[in-house]
Structure 1
Amino acid sequence: MVRLLMLLLGVDYLRTRWKALAWAGALSIVVGAVLFIDALDGKLDFPIQPFAWLLLLEGLATLAVASTGIGGQRTLRYAKGIAFSVAAILVLAERHHGHMVLSVIFGALFLADGLLQVASAHVVRFRTWRLAMAGGVIEIALAIFFIQPYPTHYVGTVPYCVALGLIFGGWNMLLLASRARRLAGNPGLRKDPESASAESNKRRLTTWSGPPASDERALTVHVWTPVGSAKSKAQHQPIIDRYIAAVDRDGVISTGHAALESPEGIYISLYPAVEIDRSPDDFTRLLRATQENNVPGRFQPDYPTESKAWCASTVQVRIRNYDAERLQNFWHDYRQNTTYNLTYRNCSSTVARALDAALEGAATRAWTRLGGWWPLFRLLLTPELWVAAHLRKRAATMAWTPGLTLDYARAMSMLADPRPFAWATVWSGLAARRSGRESR
């Protein structure tokens, strides 16, 4: 989350506000710790009923406007609305079984995420895999704490969750403030202040109603999904063939591919110079992010050449609000090394890094007219921020895959090209209908 906020807001924006962030983070940790301790004795001073009503109101409001979303945004709103409404109803029921169900749900989520993180870190062995395993063990310990009844017999489930959210959120704010304070400037910014200010003043739109039109200048992320790029019909394996690999009827493994294209002529597509043997027997060994699995790679010249030699990309994600100069700087440095590694330096990780470079400071650029703290608040209120942060965490502990890159690009497109708030969309629609009726 910290790196994502620094990326979207830009170091220059955060560096001038690091003290306020530090104080807010410290306060959040203190309040979370007090709330957690208060819930341990089973006698809650925390206003759980008003909190549940607010949660239910937010869930129902989200469901009411979910249909105004576009694509993945609509799915996220439905998921958020259902989750909030169910959790609120279980709390308002004031029954032991409701609290127990919530505890089991939270415990199962922590347990699944912790086990996945430990297993993936053990298999992939990336640079900080021991730290990731320690984080996974902590999640497993939290899962056990939620599932077992001691000390409140599940009554403290909601206060525990709120407290942990405040503690972890405050810790992230402290990290964000600390990193922003240590950086003297934005290393990716090479424009002079006057030209940057002039470019920002040209921007008047702070939201867009939808994705870029086909004739609109935009950055394009191309994704070949594992199923879509398989040589023959792939065997259906839910989740696995979406995020990891697909196996066709001949037993050949297809991992898919990802590339990035800009209107300025930049095309970033890393591929092994010699085809890697991806048979099931060797695939597990190749997942290790170690130097012995490094092979020579090559960059494809352009999309027409690559698609003609292989096939057209399965899905495209297009983004308006990007920085062409930062992308050019990244590409100039990155292309000097053609090393390919199936886990830590593959086509998907290359596209993810290029996308990060292109979208640096995107939120600040989009909300320049409003300024102040609004870019930060707007990001924190956007569900796609949490989705993108989770995807980055999962990719860091496992590996970037075309499926993860596709979801990440979609989430980042909603953050870089922000859409209006759902209620604003509904209100404008009602106003348009009313004015249409009056004109009749």
Structure 2
Amino acid sequence: MVKLMMILLGVDYLRNRSRSLTVTGWLLLIIGIGVFVDALDGALGSPIAFVGWLLLIEGALTLAVAWAGVGGQRKLRYAKGVAFVLTAALIFEGNHHGHFVLSILIGLAFLFDGLLQATSALVVRYRRYRVALGFAIFEVLLGIFMIQPYPTHYKGTVPYCIGAFFIFAGWNLILIAMRVRKLTSNPAVWVDSSAEAASETGKTNDAARPALQAREWDGPPADDEPALTVHVWTPVGSSKAETQWHPIVDRYIAAVDRNGVISTGHAALESPEGIYVSLYPAVEIDRSPDDFARLLRATRENDVPGMFQQSYAVESKAWCPSTTRVRIRNYDPNRLDSFWRDYREDTTYNLTHRNCSSSVSRALDAALEGAAGRLYGARAGWGALFRMIATPELWVAAQVRKRAVTMAWTPGLTLDYARALSMVADPRPYGWLKVTRMALAKMRESRRAWREEGTHASDGRSNIDPPARV
């Protein structure tokens, strides 16, 4: 979450507010510790019912406006609304059974996430897998703490979660403030010093920057609108033969056809300025089931020569059109160009550490740096930060990024990551605001129709001949 916020807000935006971020972080940290400690003795002093009402109201409002969403946004809103309403119902249940069910669900979520992260770290063995393994063990222990009844017999589940949320949120804000105070470049993205200097002195190529005429949009860019495009060939969609059905696996990892051939899919990034990021092994890798497990390790012995494709038109003609695409208006072509000039110098390919999907994701990070603050320009205030935090897609993108960094970037994860970031970079209207606008427009349309009907009726009466006098 820390790196993602640094990417989307930009170093300059955060540096100017580092002191306020530090104060807010310490305040949240102290409150979180207080709430967590308060729950240990079972005598709860925290307003748990108030939290339940907040969750219920937020869940109900989310469900009420979920139909106004577009594509994946609609599904995410429905999932969020249902989760909030069920959590509120369990809180209001207030007895042992409600606390027990809530504790089991939250504990299992922590356990599953920790075990998944630990397994992927041990299998892939990327550069810093030991750090991720330590966090995974901590998450497993936290899940066990939630499931077992000591010391509050499940009464403290909600305060534990609230306290943990405030603790992690406060700690993240403190980390961000500490990192940005003395930074001259953003360590969360890949940019060189020359591009950073050009950006600071204002000597960037503004003519190449797409002009943003709005701060929010009702949908994705039109086909004729200049936008950054992420192309994704899903494992199932790019397979040459009919694939076997493996839920989740064939969406995020690989698909296996009836001949036993494994297809991992592909990802590429295209910009209107002519940049095309598409890394592919120079020699086709043998992806038979016997060798596939060995290739999953992100170690240097699995590095092979790679090559960058020339353009989407050439690649799609030689192979097939992309299965799906994500288009984003709000991006920085100068930072993308800087990233591309450095990144293309190294053509090394590694199936899990440096592949097509990781290349696209890193290019996307570079292009979207400062996207949230760029919408408002010099007038960007705390509202940009609050709106970004309140966007559910930010949390989705953070979780996808966490999975990809600790496991491996795949076309499926890159697709979800690009979709989530597109909602943050090109924000949509708030659900309740969109519904209000639609209701007002409908009322104006109905009033206009009534006036026209009244006018036609009066005109018809005036055209009737008066009765003749006798």
Which of 369, 372, 376 is residue 360 of structure 1 equivalent to? 369
Q: Which residue identity lines up with residue 80 of structure 2 in the other structure?
A: K
Q: Report the equivalent of 1:412.
A: 421
Cα displacement (A) at 1:192: 5.4
Structure 1 position 127 matched with structure 2 position 152: no
Cα offsets for 1:290-349 (capped at 9, x unmatched): 100000000000111111111110001011111111111110000000000001100000
Determine which of 255, 260, 266 is the counterpart of 1:246: 255
Q: Distance in 2 between matches of 1:260 and 1:185?
A: 23
Label 1:28 to 1:155 Cα distance change in 2 as closer, same or farther (>3 A). Answer: same
Q: Are residue 218 (structure 1) and residue 257 (structure 2) matched?
A: no
Q: Measure how far apart 1:72 and its partner are.
A: 1.1
Give me the whole-angstrom Cα distance separating, in 2, the residues matched to 1:392 and 1:158: 27
Residue 191 of structure 1 aligns to a residue in which SS? Answer: helix
8 A contact 1:367–1:374 mirrored in 2: no
CA 1:192–1:128 in 2, change beyond 3 Å: closer, same or farther? Answer: closer
- Are the aligned partners of 1:12 and 1:185 in contact in 2 as well (CA < 8 Å)? no
Cα deviation, residue 365, structure 1: 1.1
Structure 2 Cα separation of the partners of residues 271 and 201 of structure 1: 29
1:191 aligns with 2:199: yes
> Aligned equivalents of 2:422 and 2:43: distance in 1?
45
Q: In structure 1, what is the equivalent of residue 115 of structure 2? A: 115
Structure 1 match to 2:440: 431
Tell me the distance in 2 between the aligned counterparts of 1:32 and 1:234: 49
* CA separation of 1:165 and 1:140: change in aligned 2, threshold 3 A: same
Indicate if the aligned counterparts of 1:218 and 1:318 stay in contact, CA closer than 8 A. Answer: yes
Q: Which amino acid is the alignment partner of residue 421 of structure 2?
A: M
Tell me how far 1:191 sits from its aligned partner. Answer: 3.1
Quote the Cα distance in structure 2 between the aligned partners of 1:342 and 1:233.
23
Corresponding residue SS for 2:181: helix
- Give 5+ residue unaligned stretches, structure 2: 187-192, 450-470
CA deviation after TM superposition for structure 1 residue 204, in Å = 4.7
Shift of 1:185: 4.8
CA contact (8 A) 2:210 2:226 kept: no
Shift of 1:182: 2.4
Q: Which residue of 2 aligns with 1:43?
A: 43
CA distance in 1, matches of 2:30, 2:241: 57
1:156 alignment partner in structure 2: 156
Partner of 2:91: 91
TM-score, length basis structure 1? 0.97
Give the whole-Å Cα distance in 1 for the aligned partners of 2:57 and 2:331: 36
Structure-1 separation of matches of 2:71 and 2:179: 35
Give 1:325's aligned residue: 334
Q: Work out the percentage of aligned pairs sharing the same amino acid.
A: 61
The letter of the residue matching 2:288 is S
TM-score (norm 2): 0.91
- 1:202: how far off? 6.3
- Higher mean alpha-carbon deviation, 185-194 vs 209-218, is at 185-194
Q: How far apart, in 2, do the equivalents of 1:107 and 1:214 lie?
A: 45
Q: Is the 8 A contact 1:269 1:300 kept in 2?
A: yes
Counterpart of 1:67 in structure 2 is 67
User: Could you say what secondary structure the match of 1:170 adopts?
Assistant: helix
Instruction: Return the alpha-carbon distance in structure 2 between the equivalents of residues 79 and 201 of structure 1.
Output: 34
- Pairwise CA distance, 1:152: 0.7
Question: 2-side partners of 1:26 and 1:400: how far apart?
Answer: 34
Equivalent positions of 1:316-395 (< 5 A) are 316-368=325-377, 371-395=380-404
The answer on whether the counterparts of 1:204 and 1:369 sit within 8 Å (CA) in structure 2 is no
d(CA) in 2 for partners of 1:370, 1:83: 36
Q: Greater CA radius of gyration, 1 or 2?
A: 2
Q: CA deviation at 1:197?
A: 12
Call closer, same or farther: CA 1:344–1:34 in 2, change over 3 Å.
same
- List runs of 5+ in structure 1 lacking aligned partners: none
Q: Report if the CA contact (8 A) 2:210-2:330 is conserved.
A: no
Name which of structure 1's ranges 293-302 and 303-312 shifts more when overlaid on structure 2.
303-312
Q: Which residue of 1 aligns with 2:215?
A: 206
What's the CA shift string for 1:90-120, capped at 9, x where partnerless? 1101221111000000000000000001000
- What secondary structure is seen at the aligned counterpart in 2 of 1:289? coil
Deviation at 1:184, TM superposition (A): 3.1
Matched to 1:359, the amino acid is L
* Separation (CA, whole Å) in 2 of partners of 1:235 and 1:369: 53
Alpha-carbon distance in structure 2 between the residues aligned to 1:132 and 1:87: 29
Task: Please name the residue that 2:190 is paired with.
Answer: none
Q: Deviations over 1:154-200 (max 9, x none)?
A: 11111000000000111111111111112035555423555679899
Distance 1:253 1:202, change over 3 A: closer
Where does residue 33 of structure 2 map in the other structure?
A: 33
Distance in 2, matches of 1:38 and 1:242, equals: 43
Once superposed, what is the RMSD of the aligned Cα atoms?
1.6
User: Is the aligned partner of 1:263 residue 2:284?
Assistant: no
